[in-house]
């Protein structure tokens, strides 16, 4: 698809995916599209970090006939060479850093959302937030609301950052693209990661927090809820008030399936999986996720064979066949 420039009042959504995350990316986009109650349309730019032609077709078909248009922007993995990856995290994690420079002056503002999200409200609410001069707006991390938290920066003092400095989760960001580029946030973050890999725990999230040093606009917790934060022993690390947790669980705006536990792998253990499955059913991957509840409820092959044998026996008796 050729590059498109959306009207100034149309929200621009940026995300990234490789082939392994093509399915959750489609689910996230479908959830955004289905919850556009008053926003007329959204233009999504998907940073392609290894999608196949089939992946692209399926993503497009998953949001066909919705108010969400999709553009793919191919990114060479060479641009991400030398960056730290670990476990479930791939180079696609860093795509947003390169994307914002590649987009140049096409968009003055964008909403970035990780592919492993489910969005449950109209993202027009995010688009209309006044950034008040900040380069970005974000949600303070559920498990590390401060730089000095157990799951925050490895050594805040090394960067001259106070332990109580607010720390955000980078899975959902509202970005002033012009200011971001003017301050060379992408190149500075990439350079920091390459030079200090042993001081980085949470990849580009740490790098951005080190550069921002608490100077970001804070938005409501319900926009970036981490289901793993509600499970033991992680729940013991929460710095949130019980009423905040209750409010998020009762009225989530966006659920972030961060970490190695994903609803498409082990859904019985993760809060919020019902929301993920609801939007999965509306995508081209509906019958391609083995643990989807509608697939698990189907008759197994062994039972199907036994029932077929029983029917044949009944038919033979009715026909008088020995």
Q: What is the pLDDT of residues 276-293, one digit of tens each?
A: 999 999 999 999 998 888
Cβ contact 33:67 at 8 Å: yes
- pLDDT, position 190: 86
Report the sign of the C-alpha dihedral through residues 105, 110, 148, 263, in that order. Answer: negative
Structure tokens at 181: 């580029």
Distances (CA, A) of 241 to 142, 152, 235: 11, 19, 12
User: Does the pLDDT of residue 322 top 60, yes or no?
Assistant: no
3-state secondary structure of 227: helix
User: Does the pLDDT of residue 173 top 50, yes or no?
Assistant: yes
As to burial, measured by CB atoms within 10 angstroms (0-12 exposed, 13-18 middle, 19+ buried), residue 20 is middle
User: Does the pLDDT of residue 60 top 60, yes or no?
Assistant: yes
Higher pLDDT, 197 or 317: 197
Cβ contact 76:104 at 8 Å: no
User: What pTM value is reported for the model?
Assistant: 0.86
At 117-150, the pLDDT tens digits run 999 999 999 999 999 999 999 999 988 889 988 8
C-alpha radius of gyration, the chain, whole number: 22
Q: What is the overall mean pLDDT for the chain?
A: 85
Residue 174 has what DSSP assignment?
E
User: Does the pLDDT of residue 47 top 50, yes or no?
Assistant: yes
User: How many Å apart are CA 58 and CA 38, to the nearest integer?
Assistant: 26
Q: Which are the contacts of 318, defined by CB distance < 8 A and separation ≥ 6?
A: none
3-state secondary structure of 288: coil
Mean pLDDT of the 194-205 span: 86
User: How many Å apart are CA 82 and CA 294, to the nearest integer?
Assistant: 42
User: How many Å apart are CA 116 and CA 165, to the nearest integer?
Assistant: 27
């Amino acid at each position: 698809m050729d590059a498109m420039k959306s009207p100034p009042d149309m929200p621009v959504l940026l995300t990234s995916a490789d082939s392994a995350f093509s399915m959750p990316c489609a689910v996230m986009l479908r959830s955004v599209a289905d919850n556009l109650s008053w926003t007329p349309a959204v233009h999504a730019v998907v940073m392609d970090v290894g999608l196949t032609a089939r992946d692209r077709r399926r993503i497009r078909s998953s949001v066909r006939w919705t108010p969400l248009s999709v553009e793919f922007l191919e990114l060479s993995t060479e641009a991400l060479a030398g960056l730290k990856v670990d476990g479930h995290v791939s180079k696609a994690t860093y795509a947003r850093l390169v994307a914002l420079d590649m987009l140049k002056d096409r968009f003055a503002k964008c909403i970035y959302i990780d592919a492993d999200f489910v969005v449950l409200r109209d993202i027009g609410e995010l688009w209309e937030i006044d950034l008040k001069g900040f380069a970005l707006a974000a949600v303070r991390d559920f498990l590390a609301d401060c730089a000095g938290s157990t799951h925050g920066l490895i050594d805040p003092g090394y960067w001259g950052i106070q332990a109580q400095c607010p720390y955000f989760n980078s899975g959902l960001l509202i970005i002033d693209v012009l200011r971001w580029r003017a301050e060379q946030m992408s190149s500075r973050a990439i350079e920091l990661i390459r030079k200090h890999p042993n001081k980085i725990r949470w990849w580009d999230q740490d790098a951005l927090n080190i550069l921002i040093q608490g100077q970001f606009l804070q938005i409501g917790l319900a926009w970036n809820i981490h289901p793993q934060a509600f499970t033991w022993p992680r729940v013991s690390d929460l710095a949130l008030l019980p009423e905040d947790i209750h409010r998020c669980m009762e009225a989530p705006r966006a659920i972030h399936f961060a970490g190695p536990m994903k609803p498409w792998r082990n859904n019985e253990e993760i809060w919020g999986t019902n929301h993920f499955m609801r939007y999965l059913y509306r995508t081209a991957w509906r019958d391609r996720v083995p643990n989807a509840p509608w697939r698990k409820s189907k008759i197994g092959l062994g039972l199907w064979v036994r029932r077929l044998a029983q029917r044949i026996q009944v038919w033979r008796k009715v026909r008088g066949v020995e």
